[in-house]
Amino acid sequence: MAYEAIWAADPSKLNKMELIKLEKDGLDVIRSIIETYAPGGYESIPEDELGRFKWAGVYEQKPKDGHFMMRVRINGGRMTSVQAEALASIARDYGRDLVDVTTRQAIQFHWLRVEYLPDIFKRLENVGLYSYEACGDCPRTIVGNPLAGIDKDELFDTTPLVEEVNDFFLLNRDFSNLPRKYKMSISSSIYNTAHAEINDLAFTPAVKEINGQDVLGFHVWVGGGLSAKPYLAKKLDLFARPEDVLKIAAGVSTLFRDHGYREKRHHARLKFLIADWGPETFQEELVKLIGELPDRGTDKVIGWNGAYFDGVHPQKQDGLNYVGLNVPVGRLSAAELSELARLSEEYGDAFIRTTMSQNILLTGIPNEKIDQLLKEQVLERLTPYPKRFTSRTVSCTGNEFCNLAIVETKERARRVAAYLDEQVQLDHDVRIHFVGCPNNCGQKYIADIGLQGALVKTAEGMVDAFDISVGGILGPGAQLVTPLKGRVKGDDVGPVLKHLIEFYKESREIGESFHSFVLRAGTSAFQEKLEEAVRLVAAS
């Protein structure tokens, strides 16, 4: 380590994982994988090394039989057609044809074996992609506006900033041993397309008058995060010029590294330090590190679009368009990704972009090519005009592959969305998020309706079930979901949600969103409707 690990002075105050990290930096596992474990196979991997595999972007896959899942960093959600084709080839050759888009714009593979990893690392590096530090106690994939550079609703193109911050932190051993995972968001979209409030560090668009001139820049947010104890980020009283972003990111990361909690692993995220210190004290310490910055300017975020972009839309470049495609629950095949790479070259600017809603965009498409593009066969399933509930349903990996998940989520979410599309006619979006465990990779806390997997005892034994929450939203007036009481059996989720959504449909005011209706009707009204729905479904 190039810095002094001041937290290591008293090992008795460190959790088990911290002691493991002090023995060997997580990044060292990459070389070990290539030189030792790939030639030796799964049986050659010591147990404590499996925890370090996360720094290579690799997790052991359920049921721990020698298969792994891998995340690949797609910073800001922007990749070239060449990169997309390389990802498709990895899924085709090693991952049983499966590709997942995650809620942090990354690409995730399954069914990998350690013997494959050196070739996968090489293929990724050959096209400028990396899985390194897509997991682990380090700076993760940087999320951003997937429309950066083409967005009519952005203050300026944030692509160079995302790349600058990524390049600084990637494989940087000064920040490869943080107390816990660390997530950053950079966007200048006025619609908060990078979900600022749920990140450890976020930059949102702002304007500040300095020396008589309006300067475009950012406001700075710290301490957001979900998991079992969710926190919305707090806004500091700072204005950041674009050239200040990296300095601030390094300073916040340093404070987290040196003062974040390492005694209890479940209490180690930056959000807990911010909650204890308060944003004012944290800002004072930050300024000591990086110097004074102007105070806040004027917020330019005016709303939140949930990172949804279905359909054909004009770019800020005249005559060009982007097409937002729906990827149901974020899952597609290698062949489909390869086809999208081809389409991006034949019709567009040879870029593909991923969103935090687990969807994909094709960009740079001239007006005269739109009609022909929309006739392509792959867009029949990955359609820009999806059915309402299928288009707004998000799901984590679930217990199909994830060792932490209690229940299956992907297929369940897909079936529930299809059921609702068949049963409910609605002219307004309702965002539904499924998560398989309290870690909340599917981000249920920001959904209109969030469902968290659980188990319930029945006469036939333990069965999958879900706890239901309502009313989440980000942007101005950001609010996390409110939980309802009563567990719903997995097979009853579709009919129960139908009753809740019809309650909204029948009782809302003209133009009223689901979130606004929850605020007006109150949680108690939804609680009553949930209990009524469970009774009706059980009796049917």
Q: How far apart are the first and last CA of the chain?
A: 63
Q: Which is catalytic among the residues 223, 398, 442, 453? A: 442
Here the contacts of 208-216 (C-beta below 8 Å, separation 24 or greater) are 208/239, 208/294, 208/296, 208/297, 208/298, 209/297, 210/294, 215/239, 215/241, 215/297, 216/155, 216/156, 216/188, 216/242
Which helix or strand (DSSP H or E) is residue 283 part of?
A: helix 279-290
| Catalytic residue status for 62 | no
Q: Which is catalytic among the residues 21, 52, 62, 71? A: 71
β-pairing, 107-113 with 98-101?
antiparallel
CA–CA separation, 286 and 232 (whole Å): 20
Report the amino acid identity of residue 498.
K
Rg of the chain in Å (alpha carbons): 23
H-type helices in 3-69, by residue range?
Answer: 16-23, 28-32, 38-40, 47-52
Is residue 149 a contact partner of residue 163, using CB atoms and an 8 Å limit? Answer: no
Residues with Cβ within 8 Å of 133's Cβ and at least 6 positions away in sequence, in order, are: 27, 55, 57, 73, 139, 140, 169, 170, 171, 176
Q: Which is catalytic among the residues 135, 138, 396, 441? A: 441
| Catalytic residue status for 414 | no
DSSP 447: S
Is residue 471 a contact partner of residue 481, using CB atoms and an 8 Å limit? Answer: yes
* CA torsion, ordered 409, 484, 181, 114, to nearest 10 deg: -20
- How many C-beta atoms lie closer than 10 Å to residue 164's C-beta? 16
| Catalytic residue status for 441 | yes
Residue in the structure block whose two tokens are 């998020």: 433
The CA distances from residue 126 to 100, 120, 344, in Å, are 21, 10, 20
Q: Which is catalytic among the residues 62, 78, 140, 181? A: 181
CA–CA separation, 134 and 108 (whole Å): 10
Beta bridge partners of 332: 99
User: Phi and psi for 417 in degrees, rounded to 5?
Assistant: -60, -45
Q: Which is catalytic among the residues 62, 140, 180, 412? A: 180
Is residue 478 a contact partner of residue 197, using CB atoms and an 8 Å limit? Answer: yes
Q: Which is catalytic among the residues 224, 436, 472, 475? A: 436
Asked, as a colleague might, if the bond just before 314 is cis with ω within 30 of 0, I would say no
| Catalytic residue status for 71 | yes
CA within 13 Å, CB half, 423? 15
Point out the residues that are catalytic.
71, 180-181, 436, 441-442
